[in-house]
Structure 1
Amino acid sequence: MVKNIAIFASGSGTNAENIANYFRNKLGFSIKLIVTNKSDAFVIERAKRLNIDSAYISKQDWNNQEQVITLLDKYQIDFIVLAGFLLKIPKYLLDKYPGRIINIHPALLPKYGGKGMYGDKVHQAVVEAGEVESGITIHYCNEHYDEGNIIFQAKCQILPTDSYKDVAKKVHELEYIHFPNTIEKLLLDINSKS
């Protein structure tokens, strides 16, 4: 049975594109929809190029449970992947997709997580704190930012000479390698249990 995936992204969408390309020729998986909360997010352009439908949901509409659920039902979404999505996931979505919404965070949680900690802000904080390693955390979503159960972590070394941009590059490489195959493993596990 095909698992239909929605990717939620707020920005450029490099991870969304990487995930879409990973699943392009894999049987049993379909990236059906890319959702963004920013009308000018470059991820919309990427979705067009990838021939994937996209939807813009404003911050106000995000609280409209019926509208959001209707959209996801239209595409028969089974699983939601947050790839640089900055809005908090509302309870109604957590209830509808229990254990089927995951996020990637560009640091080793529980460090450097929470509201306002995203993108370069995380890498700057990591460098300023003098950390010797950083990495990625893939985790389930719950009602708090970056506090859901951890699924997978991967680490990279930080050199004393590394700028936050150097750290960002290392972390992005980990995201591109590990995020798509972690999604696939989770979906295969869900399939085997259903």
Structure 2
Amino acid sequence: MYDRLDPSHTSGSKFPEGTTTIQYKATDGFELTSFCSIIIEVTGISCEALSEPTSIVISPEICLSDPRFGDICTLECEQTGFKITPPNLRELTCNSDQTWSGNTEEVQCVDLQAPEFEDCPQDMVVFVNRGEDTAYVGWSLVVRDNDPQSLELVGVCNQQPGMKTIGEYIISCSAVDEEGNEGLCQFTLEVKGTF
């Protein structure tokens, strides 16, 4: 007859990483006793810790310190309006052969957000002076981009501020950042005569 001295681990149990010792005691009919120990060594499969490329955040934290087989690490750009490219590298998995499913050196953050007009003018109505058929109309545009590295952007309009004759105008302005994202601003201008 035998007794297992550690009842928490039975045949087919999952064992934690590290060393586990299981002891058995055998006793015969003459009350003679013998002990047996089985040492089980479980070694985990791990990958090399990832390092965060510039302007990229990797989560969860375990990916940066002690990633294990099956761990899935998510990559995101620090700046809003930016996306990871190529898209298949947004998630990296630690494989059983101790390699990653992708290479962080191939990852880039690409600006996908269009520039914004900070104060796109509201629709305007301007009256000419009595006896005239033109009026001076002025507006200014401030364009902001989400990329702090971008050059100062300028809005380009189909009409410029200045003297306008009586009539209706649709003013369309655009600004394009270095990645080709286009921001738009549009407003109407009506120049009216006075009677």
Is the structural similarity TM-score above 0.5? no
Higher helix fraction: Structure 1 or Structure 2? 1
After TM superposition, the score normalised by the length of structure 1 is 0.23
Higher RCO, Cα 8 Å, sep 6+: 1
Higher strand fraction: Structure 1 or Structure 2? 2
Structure whose alpha-carbon radius of gyration is higher: 2
